A and B are shown apart, each in its own frame.
Chain A
Amino acid sequence: MTTAALPTARAAVDRGSGPRSQGPAWRRRVVVLTFLAPTIIGIGIFTLGPILASILLAFFRWDIITDPEFVGLTNFVDVVADPTVRISFINTLVFVVVAVTLQIAVSLALAVLISQRMPTWARTFFRSVFFFPLILSAASVSIVMRYLFNEEFGVVNWLLSLVGIGGVPWLTSPTASAVVIVLVYVWQQFGFTFLLFVGGLASIPTEVYEASSIDGATGWRQLRSITLPLLSPTMLVACVMAVISALQIFDQPYVLTRGGPGDATRTAVMVIYESAFRQLEFGRASAIGVVLMLLIMGVTALQFRLSRRFVFYQ
């Protein structure tokens, strides 16, 4: 698709004169290499190489100091057998389901509302507001939320006390702290899926709505029969990206609860971090990383497979 006339012509000449005329071909290769080298070498050293190394390392026990020792599948068995690792994966999966559902619901509702008739300044205002948390660091947000959710002097419990609900132990009860992690995460992330939906809604032609209202379709009916089917390709992308990002949650539980109380908010990535850099079990950390990677690939593939039934392309 990018066949520029001249290079093609030159390539034809080269082919005609045989491999011995190395001048232009050799020079072209150098040009391509210089353009690509920084990225290819960089990705090779810092991404592709490490992926392979991680897979290899997952079969060893290694603490950096002594020699690595081959342990076969032990590290992988740990993911199921070790209660902390197992709980962290269960936590992560539950978190993904709850947080992504909430994120999609909130951002879809807001995107539908914002695409209604309203003054341009109001639309710009709301769009900027919902986008805003995305530019903040999850660490800063979590620091702020730690104060807001403080059991004794936090604003959240003060607000709840106004409607007669007594001090909820937000960060010290297992269930409540898991709820806080979900809320804080969704608060920061919903703007991303919101933006995707706003874009998706804008691409639905208005004529479809006009035609349907002539036929007497009302708000809910239009939402169910027009908006959602026509939005389904965007929905797929939004879900896939939201799930990939939620599976990697770390910053919020690290700052808010350090995984506690007990293991209630420990996530898969937290266990990777702790195994490697607290307990110096690099092999185990790699194995958990590999399982996480397989999980992401598997869940993504599953979403695309399921989408065949629900996604509607115009």
Chain B
Amino acid sequence: MTTATVTPPARTTSTAPPRRRTRAVPSPSTVARTAFLVVAAALTLGPVIWTVSTSLRSPAESFTLPPQLIPTDPDLTPYIQVFSQINMGLLTLNSALVTGFIAVGQMLTAALAGYAFARLEFRGRSLWFSLVLATMMVPVQVTIVPVFMIIRGMGLSDTLLALILPAIPTAFGTFLMRQYFLGLPVELGEAASIDGAGPWRTFASIYAPLALPGLAIIGILAFNFHWNEFFRPLILTISEQNFTLPLGLVSLQGNMGTGSISVVLAGVVLSMIPALVVFLFGQRPLREGLTAGVSK
């Protein structure tokens, strides 16, 4: 908000608060603002850059002060060693299986339930919907003990299914898909049923394809959340062959002394790569999903 004397011509040419024409000398407050943003960005990215840089040093000299932000002599041994010290391949596979099945399962079930709440008529529709919404506020820690018992009762203790099944029904996804279907024109469905399409056909051939962007948001959110999840895997898996990446990395860090930071960090960097890919391609849907239902 620059303070400048407001002259009528200046107001007609610019939409935002008016600014002086002299471009060469930015005002002190602009410099201060920019400096603040740059410092904040450096503090945000610094640890990430340090992690990548340190992971590229040989384990023997994994660490130096002053910290190097750009590795002078990159060495890939930590990345080779991380595969011999923990079963990186298996951890990644487990994480991918768990995350993939949850994402696909959430997309399917949320599409069905969201459609029912938006477009099908049945008794108690708003009651059921409120009930589903209410579960969004209950933290996972409150239900974890009974869920653990139920998983045991189902004979699924210490399996990947124990992580997948409870995470598939999604209240938030149902809410998001309901909003999405409400935004699609009713006339499409009416036309389809005049042509003789039943409710299934109308859903599968007309509405579901149109809702693909909404489903993408659910898939990306599910990926981001469950790829990084720590609390449930810590409780529901016991043997290392069923660990997911975050658990594996924490146990890797626990097993080793301070000698090979770079190996631990190489594991951290590897586990970040899929999340980074999703970030690059899914930033916009991810953002929209995180803030969905918040703005009016």
Are the CB atoms of B145 and A289 closer together than 8 Å?
yes
Are the CB atoms of B139 and A293 closer together than 8 Å?
yes
Distance between Cα atoms of A150 and B65 in the complex (Å): 13
- Report whether over half of chain B's contact residues are helix, strand or loop; otherwise say mixed: helix
In the assembled complex, how far is the CB of residue A72 from the closest CB belonging to chain B, in whole angstroms? 19
Are the CB atoms of A129 and B45 closer together than 8 Å?
yes
Are the CB atoms of A293 and B138 closer together than 8 Å?
yes
Interface-forming stretch among A74-82, A95-103, A134-142? A134-142
Partner pick for B144 among A32, A244, A276, CB 8 A cutoff:
A276
Q: Give residues 233-285 of A contacting B (CB, 8 Å).
A: 234, 237, 241, 244, 247-248, 250-251, 254-255, 269, 272-273, 276-277, 282, 285
Report if A39-B132 is in contact (Cβ < 8 Å); known contacts: A137-B271, A196-B291.
yes
Distance between Cα atoms of A48 and B169 in the complex (Å): 12
**A87 on the B face (CB < 8 A):** no
Closest chain A residue, CB of each to CB of B150 = A45
**A4 on the B face (CB < 8 A):** yes
What A residues does B166 contact at CB under 8 A?
A: 42, 46
Distance between Cα atoms of A68 and B104 in the complex (Å): 38
**A148 on the B face (CB < 8 A):** yes
Are the CB atoms of A54 and B261 closer together than 8 Å?
no
Distance between Cα atoms of A146 and B256 in the complex (Å): 13
Tally of chain A residues near chain B (CB < 8 A): 107
In the assembled complex, how far is the CB of residue B87 from the closest CB belonging to chain A, in whole angstroms? 17
**A133 on the B face (CB < 8 A):** yes
Distance between Cα atoms of A277 and B149 in the complex (Å): 12
Distance between Cα atoms of A118 and B30 in the complex (Å): 10
Distance between Cα atoms of A153 and B65 in the complex (Å): 8
Interface string of A143-166 (1 = CB under 8 A from B): 111111010010100100000000
Partner pick for A38 among B45, B109, B139, B227, CB 8 A cutoff:
B109
Report if A113-B33 is in contact (Cβ < 8 Å); known contacts: A38-B113, A43-B132, A147-B261.
yes
Please count the residue pairs between chain A and chain B whose beta carbons lie under 8 angstroms apart in the complex: 289
In the assembled complex, how far is the CB of residue A263 from the closest CB belonging to chain B, in whole angstroms? 18
Are the CB atoms of B141 and A269 closer together than 8 Å?
yes
Q: Give residues 282-311 of A contacting B (CB, 8 Å).
A: 282, 285-286, 289-290, 292-293, 296-297, 300
Distance between Cα atoms of A109 and B268 in the complex (Å): 30
What B residues does A214 contact at CB under 8 A?
A: 6
Are the CB atoms of A32 and B249 closer together than 8 Å?
no
Are the CB atoms of B253 and A143 closer together than 8 Å?
yes
Are the CB atoms of A206 and B41 closer together than 8 Å?
no
Distance between Cα atoms of A162 and B17 in the complex (Å): 41
**A51 on the B face (CB < 8 A):** yes
Interface range for B: 35 or more
In the assembled complex, how far is the CB of residue A35 from the closest CB belonging to chain B, in whole angstroms? 4
Closest chain B residue, CB of each to CB of A283 = B145
**B290 on the A face (CB < 8 A):** yes
Are the CB atoms of A137 and B279 closer together than 8 Å?
no
Interface string of B110-124 (1 = CB under 8 A from A): 101101101111100
Are the CB atoms of A47 and B143 closer together than 8 Å?
yes
Are the CB atoms of B17 and A210 closer together than 8 Å?
yes
**B283 on the A face (CB < 8 A):** yes
Closest chain B residue, CB of each to CB of A277 = B235
Distance between Cα atoms of A50 and B148 in the complex (Å): 10
What A residues does B291 contact at CB under 8 A?
A: 195-196, 199
Interface string of B91-118 (1 = CB under 8 A from A): 0000000000000000011101101101
Are the CB atoms of B278 and A51 closer together than 8 Å?
no
**B155 on the A face (CB < 8 A):** no
In the assembled complex, how far is the CB of residue B127 from the closest CB belonging to chain A, in whole angstroms? 12
Partner pick for B44 among A132, A137, A143, CB 8 A cutoff:
A132
What A residues does B109 contact at CB under 8 A?
A: 38-39, 42
Distance between Cα atoms of A117 and B109 in the complex (Å): 44
What A residues does B193 contact at CB under 8 A?
A: 4, 6
Closest chain A residue, CB of each to CB of B252 = A143
Closest chain B residue, CB of each to CB of A221 = B1
Distance between Cα atoms of A210 and B143 in the complex (Å): 52
Are the CB atoms of A40 and B113 closer together than 8 Å?
yes
Are the CB atoms of B119 and A4 closer together than 8 Å?
yes
Are the CB atoms of A36 and B145 closer together than 8 Å?
no
Are the CB atoms of A144 and B131 closer together than 8 Å?
no
Closest chain A residue, CB of each to CB of B3 = A218
Are the CB atoms of B121 and A11 closer together than 8 Å?
yes
**B37 on the A face (CB < 8 A):** yes
Are the CB atoms of B118 and A2 closer together than 8 Å?
yes
Are the CB atoms of B1 and A276 closer together than 8 Å?
no
What B residues does A7 contact at CB under 8 A?
A: 120-121
Are the CB atoms of B65 and A155 closer together than 8 Å?
yes
User: Can you list 13 residue pairs at the A/B interface with Cβ under 8 Å?
Assistant: A1-B182, A5-B190, A31-B198, A31-B200, A32-B120, A40-B132, A43-B171, A130-B40, A130-B44, A131-B283, A133-B44, A218-B1, A248-B140
For the complex of A and B, 10 pairs with smallest distance between CB atoms: A42-B169, A137-B228, A50-B146, A50-B143, A39-B113, A35-B116, A139-B246, A53-B146, A46-B166, A289-B142
Beyond A7-B120, A136-B48, A136-B272, 8 extra complex contacts between A and B, CB < 8 Å:
A2-B121, A53-B145, A57-B145, A117-B17, A138-B228, A206-B16, A251-B230, A296-B139
